[in-house]
């Protein structure tokens, strides 16, 4: 949760070192639910420190985002690839470590939050481990000449036709706004993309994030 929270504020984290703003994302054990071994975790409030970071989303958003990633690991390869897009290697490593630890203990678990109720039996844990241990690579800034086909204002989804004729679809980077690309509709340009690839059992899934666009002449 701390890594997801930091990624939402500062962007992709470095490969190592302290987690930025980690003290703002601590959850505290407030109860031990009966009937099984578990923990009830709560945010006890960090209003004063958060006032220094008005751009910070509520911690509940990081919790639900982390839960969404955990859920996606048991749903499908496509869902997990979507969830892994733009989270960075440190979040991916944390998810992998979480599921490997659960599997090595031959454990099952339930995860409940305000918006999500998940139950992982042995089969779902096994499927999640297979996805979470897949090879993940990132290409940070790939120039792709072609024709920009547009971006949706609501979802931030874009399409770009490369010079080979293939249409690449994805989302704009989290620190960009759809209106920034409005003037490029149906124009030749160079789209700079971040490409995330997951590889598992001889198959691969690619996800594209639009970083910026420049004219073909300036590339």
State pLDDT tens for residues 163-188.
Answer: 999 999 999 987 789 999 999 999 99
pLDDT confidence of residue 65 = 85
State pLDDT tens for residues 41-62.
Answer: 555 555 444 444 555 456 778 8
Please answer whether residues 20 and 9 qualify as being in contact, where contact means their C-beta atoms are separated by less than 8 angstroms: yes
Tell whether the torsion through CA atoms of 84, 89, 94 and 100 is positive or negative.
positive
Look over the chain and give the mean of its residue pLDDT values, rounded to a whole number. 82
Tell whether the torsion through CA atoms of 156, 159, 160 and 162 is positive or negative.
positive
**Tokens coding 127:** 């499927």
- pLDDT-derived band of residue 145, with 50, 70 and 90 as boundaries? very high
CA 67/CA 60 separation, integer angstroms: 10
Helix (H) or strand (E) holding 38: none
Lowest mean pLDDT among 21-25, 70-74, 119-123: 21-25
Please answer whether residues 114 and 60 qualify as being in contact, where contact means their C-beta atoms are separated by less than 8 angstroms: yes
Q: What is the pTM of this model?
A: 0.71
């Amino acid at each position: 949760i701390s890594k997801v929270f930091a990624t939402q504020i500062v962007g992709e984290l470095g490969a190592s070192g302290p987690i930025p703003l980690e003290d703002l994302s601590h959850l505290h054990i407030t109860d031990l639910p009966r009937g099984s071994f578990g923990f009830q975790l709560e945010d006890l409030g960090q209003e004063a420190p958060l006032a220094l970071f008005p751009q910070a989303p509520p911690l509940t958003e990081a919790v639900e985002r982390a839960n969404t990633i955990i859920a996606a690991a048991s749903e499908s390869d496509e869902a997990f690839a979507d969830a892994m897009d733009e989270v960075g290697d440190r979040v991916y490593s944390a998810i992998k470590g979480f599921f490997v630890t659960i599997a090595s203990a031959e454990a099952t678990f339930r995860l409940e939050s305000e918006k999500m109720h998940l139950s992982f039996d042995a089969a779902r844990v096994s499927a999640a481990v297979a996805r979470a241990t897949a090879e993940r690579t990132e290409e940070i800034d790939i120039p792709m000449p072609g024709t920009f086909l547009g971006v949706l204002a609501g979802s931030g989804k874009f399409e770009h036709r490369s010079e080979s004729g293939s249409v690449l679809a994805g989302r704009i980077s989290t620190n960009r706004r759809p209106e920034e690309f409005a003037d490029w509709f149906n124009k030749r340009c160079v789209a700079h993309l971040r490409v995330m690839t997951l590889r598992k059992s001889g198959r691969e899934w690619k996800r594209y994030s639009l970083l910026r666009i420049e004219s073909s002449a300036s590339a």
